[in-house]
Amino acid sequence: MKRTFLTLAAAVIALLIALPLSPAFAEDAYVPYPAPKAAVSDDGTIYLRPAPTRDTEGAVKLRHMEGKTVSALGSDPSGKYLYIEYEGKKGFVRAKDFELADSAASPSPAVSTANVSYFGAAKTGISGDSAIYMRTSPNIPEKPAKSDSNVARKIKKARGASFKLLGEAGDWYYAEYDGTKGFVKKADFTIQEQNANANAGTSGADGAGRLNRPTSGATETGHGAESEKWGSIKIPGAKTYTIYGNYTNSAGTKYYYAAENLKGHYEYVHTLTAKGSQVHSVLGHNVRSGKGKYFHNLHHVQNALIGKSRCESCGASCGSKFRTTSITMKLDGYKKWDIMCLYEIAPNQSTSILAYNARPWKTSTSSYVSTQLNYAGTSGLKGWINPDVTYSDGGKYAMLITCGDKYENNSNATSKLYVLLKARD
């Protein structure tokens, strides 16, 4: 009887060892935050682990997660793993795959600005480093163990990102990025100069866009240089794509990304406008030809907002996941952009409207936005206007322009759908 009991006990212990951690065990393995924090995924595939280890056995695989926000409940003692909750599921994820944002219940450390010499007008600084630490004071603590003690925020994958530089203090800039202010090292940044070839519009305070490079005498660039990767955009139902900039053909007349040429068929997303522009033109070329392709899914968003259930081109459902009024786009220091209005153009209008919408430097911001709202309110253009987003003089805007559709009945069609965005403050 005794041997039978011991054998049974050993079997129970072996079973417990083999089983993954239950929620009770898992929750004992992390240090909870005073209040949950928002964390944004930098990776497309995330493993929700039962324990804070590298092992993914028993983990829940979450797909298409890049840019999505989860609730971080705490971290393991090492800080390498976050304990999160997402859509009712809880588990451990690698901290390096997430950008942790401070919640209202856990505000950023106070920043001391006593020694800041403010610029007359904010400048745009382009990060040359892959990680930027925004600090609460213009110094790094001497003891290595405390080197992160005055960090207000760490920005991952920051190379090429635009920061608003408000002033300076010695070897530091006082900067703002995505709502966070702090000190950054001058050595990590280059100043984005104003484009001398740009037309600032009707007034300096209301100039829409600036060219990202001259329209003539330019040389072809491309082939994957980090300096050309100006941002990224995520459309519901499609993967995240890079926004390229600063490239033309050798004559300076066509804008494209050379390395994307596959047997003569270009597919790319790029901007014609310079960093720091008040209005950006973000174009997709040959990127609306099928479900899940780049800007094609913008049409699904359009249909969902105007009450159409299916896509005319691919026949797919335009259901609840497309019923959104915001777009995730990392550009010029902003992440979230609200849809202000959208519309399709009528036959025989492609050439004239594209020429206007792709060149915001030809007008003022107020005139540009007013024109878009008028188009969106015109009957028959499948337009939609967001009543909760209004024009402001200091607002930041972006026009998303799609390529022509296979069901477009005009041989001159070079664009079809226009979506005007406004960056969140």
On the 0-12 / 13-18 / 19+ scale of CB atoms within 10 A, 250 is exposed
At residue 411, the pLDDT reads 43
- pTM metric for this prediction: 0.51
Output DSSP code: residue 293: S
Check pLDDT > 60 for residue 4. Answer: no
Identify the pLDDT of residue 9. Answer: 52
Token pair for 220: 């072809």
Half-sphere exposure of 143 (CA within 13 A, CB side): 3
Band of pLDDT at residue 355, cut at 50, 70 and 90: confident
pLDDT, mean over the chain: 74
pLDDT band at 101 (very low <50, low <70, confident <90, very high): low
What is the DSSP secondary structure assignment for residue 223, as one 8-state letter? T
| One-letter identity of residue 103 | S
Single-letter residue type at 386: N
- DSSP 8-state symbol, 425: -
Phi/psi-derived region of residue 90, left when phi > 0, alpha when psi is between -120 and 50, beta in every other case: beta
Write out pLDDT tens, residues 114-149.
889 998 888 888 887 778 888 888 888 776 666 677
Q: Mean pLDDT over residues 182-192, rounded?
A: 86
Instruction: Output the six-digit token pair for 61.
Output: 């695989």
Asked whether the predicted pLDDT for residue 193 surpasses 60, the reply is: no
